[in-house]
Structure 1
Amino acid sequence: MIRFYILLFMMCLTNSCASKQETSSQPDENQIFAGTFVVNTLYGRLIEGDDIIMKINDRTSKVSGLAACNTYNVAFTQKQEKITFSHVVSTMVICDDETMKKERRFLNIFTGIKEFNTKGDTLILYNEGKEILKATRFIF
């Protein structure tokens, strides 16, 4: 739980240091896939706890965060609702078996994700039309 609070503090600090940019009245399709999300479901199963965090930066095309035990980073390429991810890089801390199992299930999704959709504050990742992950935007 302490890792969650550390990550939350780092995200707040990062966001507060970012320079303000002008907002356009025109929607930018690249702005859709951005924000900080807490993962709720993987492969249709509810995830217990709030220990899987996705911080999506559309300017650097990277996803980073906490994957139950370790921090991770993965680059992506997006074109409208289509998306592909590069190889995941993560730290190598060993946690209890159940946490490590949950983490592996999460980190393995990036190899198969092909599409995404956002509905309000919900992000959904798909592989060939099948829902793989659902996450809720984390609002500070």
Structure 2
Amino acid sequence: MKSLAASIFVSFLFLACSSAKKNASDSTTEKTISTLDGKYLVTQLNGENVSEHNITMEFDKKNKKVSGYSGCNTYSSTYTVSDNGVVIDIPMATKRYCPDLGDLEKDFFKALTSCKTTQLKSDQLLLNGMEGKTLLAGVKE
């Protein structure tokens, strides 16, 4: 009987801990999303400084959209909220031809849609890939 009571107690303890973790995660995600709202200038793409190209990301939390300038074209996409931040869908972009910036734009869109985790540090936004590597870094304007 004592072992049954102990098993039940341990089960409730695990349930309480996992519920507290989930609530904390939900709260953190909601805080991330609410502070994410606004316009960011992309400063790094895959570890390289791209500040001179004026790439931007503007997050609209009400409509869950992200849009901006990709170095050559303007773009727009939607995003969804995950436990680790945001997941950005494949963007639509204008079709301007920029031969010198084609690879930059392609790399930007690849990084944008490969984001797995989102971090906000003061006014800096970090979008990280699967292994935690920072794909995009930006500062709030």
TMscore range, shorter length: 0.7 to 0.9
Contiguous gaps of at least 5 residues in structure 2: 1-27
Contiguous gaps of at least 5 residues in structure 1: 1-26
The CA deviation at 1:32 is: 2.3
**Identity rate of aligned residues, in percent?**
25
Q: Which residue of structure 2 lines up, in the alignment, with residue 115 of structure 1?
A: 117
Q: Tell me, what secondary structure is at the counterpart of 1:59?
A: coil
- 8 Å contact 2:112–2:136 — kept in the other structure? no
Matched, 1:130 2:133: yes
Q: What residue identity is the alignment partner of 2:77?
A: V
TM-score, normalised on structure 2?
A: 0.72
Q: What residue identity is the alignment partner of 2:43?
A: N
* Structure with more helix by fraction: 2
- 8 Å contact 1:38–1:50 — kept in the other structure? no
Matched, 1:36 2:39: yes
- Aligned length in residues: 112
What are the superposed Cα offsets for residues 60-81 of structure 1, whole Å, 9 maximum, x if unpaired? 1110011011000010001353
The CA deviation at 1:123 is: 0.2
What CA RMSD, in Å, does the superposition of the two structures yield over aligned residues?
1.9
Aligned equivalents of 1:92 and 1:43: distance in 2?
24
Aligned equivalents of 1:75 and 1:108: distance in 2?
15
| Higher Rg of the two aligned structures | 2
* Correspondence 1:1-140 to 2 at 5 A: 29=31, 30-95=33-98, 97-128=99-130, 129-138=132-141
Aligned equivalents of 1:47 and 1:57: distance in 2?
23
The CA deviation at 1:51 is: 2.0
Where in structure 1 do 4 or more consecutive aligned residues deviate above 6 Å? none
Aligned equivalents of 1:132 and 1:102: distance in 2?
13
- Greater shift after overlay, 30-39 or 73-82? 73-82
TM-score, normalised on structure 1?
A: 0.73
